[in-house]
């Protein structure tokens, strides 16, 4: 068996079967090595450029996909918010309308009562009403035989119950 030292000594010595190359052959080998290196570098450069192009394209597509997702989430959110606002406004409108109908019914009862009384006593009733955002203002002037009677009332209409 050979030792490691003997193996390294043998590899340094050129084999005797190998021919010595001429200067022309050495130049040709160097030119071929240079050309192969140039081809490898060129192919590596082209591969790197193609990879860069693919990466840029993928980043662009990824940003478009993310933008579509963001837009879809925003549309869903805006639809939900719009539905919530619509439901809230409908509920408020229903509460206000119910309160208004109650007040209107009370006004009609009072008017019917006073109209019957006015017919019996030959008096009459003049009235005004004004509806604001949160109140109903009633002003009634009742004229009977003895003298005028003025009734003023502010009835709150609660928006939030």
- Rounded to 5, what percent of the chain is helix, strand, coil? 65, 15, 15
Question: CA of 155: how far to CAs of 43, 95, 136, 140, 152, in Å?
Answer: 89, 15, 5, 14, 10
Distance of CA 75 to the CA centre of its chain: 6
DSSP state of 16: T
pLDDT level of residue 6 (50, 70, 90 thresholds): low
Could you tell me the residue ranges of all domains in the chain?
25-156
- What is the average per-residue pLDDT within 111-116? 77
Closest residue by Cα to residue 161 from 106, 88, 102: 88
CA distances from 64 to 20, 59, 60, 137 (A): 64, 9, 6, 59
Whole-model pTM: value is 0.41
pLDDT digits (tens, 9 = 90+) for 74-95: 999 999 999 999 999 999 999 9
Q: How do residues 38-78 score in pLDDT, each as one tens digit?
A: 999 999 999 999 999 999 999 999 999 999 999 999 999 99
CA atoms in the 13 A half-sphere facing the CB of 68 = 6
Q: How confident is the model at residue 148 (pLDDT cuts 50, 70, 90)?
A: confident
| Cβ count within 10 A of residue 114 | 19
């Amino acid at each position: 068996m050979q030792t490691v030292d003997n193996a390294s000594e043998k590899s340094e010595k050129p084999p005797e079967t190998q021919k010595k190359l001429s200067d022309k052959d050495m130049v040709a080998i160097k030119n071929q090595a240079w050309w192969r290196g140039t081809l490898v570098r060129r192919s590596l450069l082209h591969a790197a450029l193609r990879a860069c192009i693919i990466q840029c394209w993928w980043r662009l597509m990824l940003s478009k996909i993310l933008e579509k997702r963001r837009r879809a989430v925003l549309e869903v959110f805006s639809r939900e918010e719009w539905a919530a606002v619509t439901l809230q406004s409908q509920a408020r409108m229903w509460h206000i309308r119910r309160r208004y109908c109650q007040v209107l019914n009370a006004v009609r009862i009072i008017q019917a009562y006073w109209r019957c009384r006015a017919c019996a006593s030959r008096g009459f009733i003049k009235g005004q009403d004004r509806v604001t955002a949160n109140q109903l203002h009633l002003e009634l002037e009742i004229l009977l035989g003895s003298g005028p009677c003025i009734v003023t009332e502010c009835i709150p209409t609660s928006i939030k119950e």
